[in-house]
Amino acid sequence: MGLWSKKSLDLLMREADGTGEAVTLKRTLGALNLTLLGIGAIIGAGIFVLTGTAAAQYAGPAIVLSFVLAGLGCLFAGLCYAEFASMIPIAGSAYTYGYATLGELVAWIIGWDLILEYLFAASTVAVGWSGYFTAFMRDYVGVDMPAALTTAPFAVQGTHTLVRTGAIINLPAMLLIGLLTTLLVIGISESAKLNNIIVFVKVTIVFLVIGFGFMYVTPSNWTPFIPENTGTFGQFGFSGIVRGSAVIFFAYIGFDAVSTAAQEAKNPQRDLPIGILGSLAICTVLYILMALVMTGLANYTELNVPNPVYVAIAKAGPALSWLKMLVALGAIAGLASVVLVMLLGQPRIFYAMSKDGLLPALFGKVHPKYQTPWVSTIITGCVAAVVAGMFPIGLLGELVSIGTLLAFVIVSAGVLVLRYRSPNLHRPFRTPMVPVVPVLAILICGYMMSSLPLDTWLRLLIWLALGLVIYFGYGKANSKVGRAEAGR
C-alpha cells in the first residue's frame, strides 16, 4: 500500500462510465451549461469586492496588470486542466488528475487542499453577499436588519487574535447557504438552470457598468498608473502588481469548479475544454475592463470598501445614479451564484475521495431519486453555514487563493509527468507547446504564491498537516488502490 500508488486510466474510465454501480451521477450538462457554470463562479467576488481592495492596498490603477498576470497564469493552467478533463472525465478535478499521475499521497494533499479552497470560498463569499443584501434591504426596501443578526460574532485583531464583536450570528449568510444546499441536493440540472439565469442578470449589469462607466472616466485617476512602491514588498510598484494578482486569484477559482462537474457532463471530452477555456477567456476580458472603469471613475485610494463598484458609480454623479440599484442587484445575484458553484464543487471532491476509500463511504452516497451526492452536499452546506455565520471575511480568505494556486501548480506538473510517462495515450484535447505551457503555469502560479504573506503560508501548512494526520490515520489503510496493489 505505497504512498505513490497511482490510479490507472482504465480504472478511471470505468468509473467515469459508472460501470458496476446501481446509482451514479446524472449526466445533464452541456458545453453552454459548463461555460456558464464557470462564469457563475468567476464573475462575483472578484469584480464586486476584491478589485477595489487589491487596487487600494497593493497595485493602484495597475490592478489591470494584476488581472493580466493572473489571467496568464490561469490560461496556461487552464490549458493543462483541459487536457486532463478531456482524458479523465470524472468528478474530483485536480485530485483525480493528481491520483493518475503523481500518486496517492500527492492526490490526498491536493484533495485536502481543495476542501479548504471550496469550503472557505463558499463561506467567504456568503459573508460578502450578506453585506450587500443587508445594505440593499436598508437602502431600497426600508428594512434595517439588526447588526447583531447580520454580523459575525468574531473579528480578527492583528493577524491571529479572534475577538468578540458583540454580534450573535450572521443569519443572512447562513440562510443563503441553507437555501442553495437544498437546491443542490434536489438536482444538478435545476441548480444549473438557476445559475444560468443569475449569470445572464449579472453579466448584463457588468456590461452596463463597463459601457456607461467609460463615458464618465476621469483619465487623471489613472495617474500614476503604477504608484511608487512604499519600501515594503507588495505595497505598490511591481511587487504590488504581483501581490495584487495573487490576492485576486481568489476570483479565478471558477474554471476549477467546471472540472469538478466532469461526471455530470453529457460529452465531457468535448464540452469540458470548452467550458474551462471559454469561461476563463470571457471573464478575464470582463475583469480587465471593469478594473479600468472602476479606477477611472474613482481614485484607487477610495476603493478599499466592501462595495467598490457602488462607490465608483457614485463618483459619476447623478448621470449614473440609475445604475446604483442595478449594481446592488448584480452583486447580490453574482455573489449568490459563486456560493452555489462552490457548494456544488466541494461535495464532488468528497465523492471522488470516498469512492477511492480515502474518506468514509458516507461521503460517496448518491441519492436514488435525485442522483446527487446528497450526504456530502449536506455536510458541506452545514460546515460552510457555521463558518459563514461565525467568522469574518478576512480570517481565511487568502487561503482560498493560495489553495487555488497550489492546485494549478500540481495539475500543470501532472501534465508534464503524464506526457513523459505515457506519450501515446489518447488525448481528445492536447495542451499546446508542451513543456513550455505547463512550465510557465508552474512558474507564474508559484511566483504568485511566493508573494503571499507568511501568515497565509503558515495557515496552509497547518491545514495540510491536519490532513496528513487524517490520511495516515484512516485514508492510507482504507485506500482501494493501495489494497489492490497489496493483493497483487
pLDDT at 179: 92
pLDDT at 488: 57
Does the pLDDT of residue 18 top 70, yes or no? no
pLDDT at 471: 92
CA distance 80 to 65: 23
Q: How many residues does the chain have?
A: 488
pLDDT at 171: 92
pLDDT at 199: 81
Among 236, 215, 218, 219, which Cα is nearest to 227's? 236
Mean pLDDT of 187-206: 78
Residue 176 corresponds to which cell in the numbers above?
443563503
375 within 8 A of 363, measured Cβ to Cβ: yes
Distant-in-sequence, close-in-space partners of 169: CB < 8 Å, separation ≥ 6: 149, 152, 153, 389, 390
62 within 8 A of 353, measured Cβ to Cβ: no
Mean pLDDT of 284-291: 90
Distances (CA, A) of 395 to 105, 360, 387: 28, 29, 10
pLDDT at 22: 45
| b/e sequence 339-375, b meaning 16+ C-beta within 10 Å | bbbbbbbbbbbbbbbbbbbbbeeebbbbbeebbbbbb
End-to-end CA distance of the chain: 11
pLDDT at 485: 60
For all residues of the chain together, what is the average pLDDT?
82
Q: Spell out the domain ranges in the chain.
A: 9-487
Give residue 219's pLDDT band: very low, low, confident or very high (50, 70, 90).
Answer: very high
Mean pLDDT of 13-37: 67
Strand segments, DSSP code E, in 125-270 are 154-157, 161-164
Give residue 226's pLDDT band: very low, low, confident or very high (50, 70, 90).
Answer: very high
3-state class (DSSP) for residue 162: strand
Among 61, 457, 448, which Cα is nearest to 236's? 61
pLDDT in tens, 324-374: 888 888 888 888 888 887 888 788 888 888 888 899 988 888 877 777 788
Domain 9-487 fold is Amino acid/polyamine transporter I (1.20.1740)
Lowest mean pLDDT among 134-138, 174-178, 379-383: 134-138
Mean pLDDT of 146-166: 72
pLDDT at 398: 65
CA distance 239 to 250: 18
Residue 404 corresponds to which cell in the numbers above?
487555488
pLDDT in tens, 426-454: 888 889 998 999 999 999 888 888 877 78
Give residue 54's pLDDT band: very low, low, confident or very high (50, 70, 90).
Answer: confident
Give residue 306's pLDDT band: very low, low, confident or very high (50, 70, 90).
Answer: low
